Amino acid sequence: MKLLPSIILLGSLIPFVAAHFKLVYPDSRKITSDTMSVYPCGSSPPTGERTQVSLPDGSFPVAVEMGHSQTAVEMLLALGTNPGEHFNITLVHTFGVMGLGSFCLPHVSFSPSVLGTNATDGMNATLQVQANGHPSGGLYTCADIQFSETTSYSQPSSCKNNTGISAVAFPGKLHANQSTGSGEPQSESSGGHHSTQSTAGAVPLQTAAWGMLGAAVVGGVAVL
């Protein structure tokens, strides 16, 4: 009987680990662990539901659940209602998340300098959160959003960081699907989809984007 709590705990972790990682906010497209390796959105088409993002604020939170102890993460954006594979805007360059469970960036910027254009009221877009595959390639999940002048910034309860979770900046400019969880290049035979993001308008992780990351995670501001 003494083993029962451990068995229950293990059983609760199995589906979580199998999922690799989960995009919690903005609301993600429906996806399974079996299709997460299919570029660009885990074989999941656009949905009719879009998370409203505040235009006046100029940023939105991104919350994920991590299923591996070391994960390379990158956040990309494609403008339009059905952008296909055109995720050519880098919101946050590839960085490493160390630890399991809840992880959140409370303010991911979509300023004109990041987008390379001005977002407008009613404009549709799709967020792609990309991670390194296990053992190679990439994993992908997406969320459909819409910019709104009338929506106010709101930080969901899911935007939190587990105790002990941390984030580190990776040197270089590898995409997450080209990186290992520790930031090293994957083998050339990995077969991962090398997306063609433009670096125009991208924010270096060590400056603006990493400043937000550090404030939220390293500084413990968002740790609950």
The residue whose two tokens read 């300023």 is: 111
Beta strands 59-66 and 21-25 are antiparallel
Does residue 162 form part of some domain? Answer: yes
% of the chain surpassing 70 pLDDT: 75
pLDDT in tens, 49-97: 899 999 999 999 999 999 989 999 999 999 999 888 989 999 999 999 9
- Structurally, the chain folds into a number of domains equal to 1
Does residue 1 form part of some domain? Answer: no
Does residue 213 form part of some domain? Answer: yes
Q: Tell me the residue range of the domain where 53 lies.
A: 24-218
Q: Higher confidence at residue 190 or residue 182?
A: 182
* Distance from the Cα of residue 177 to its chain's centroid: 12
pLDDT in tens, 194-219: 444 333 333 333 334 444 554 444 44
Does residue 146 form part of some domain? Answer: yes
- CATH number, domain of 211, equals 2.60.40.10
Does residue 140 form part of some domain? Answer: yes
Q: DSSP label at 223?
A: B
Does residue 19 form part of some domain? Answer: no
Q: Higher confidence at residue 50 or residue 2?
A: 50
pLDDT in tens, 60-72: 999 999 998 999 9
Backbone angles phi, psi at 90, to 5 degrees: -95, 110
Please give the full DSSP string across 105-159, using - where no structure is assigned.
Answer: EEEEE--HHHHSS---TT-EEEEEEEEE-SSSSEEEEEEEEEEESSPPP---TT-
| Mean pLDDT for the stretch of residues 142-146 | 97
CA distance 64 to 105: 9
Does residue 5 form part of some domain? Answer: no
Does residue 207 form part of some domain? Answer: yes
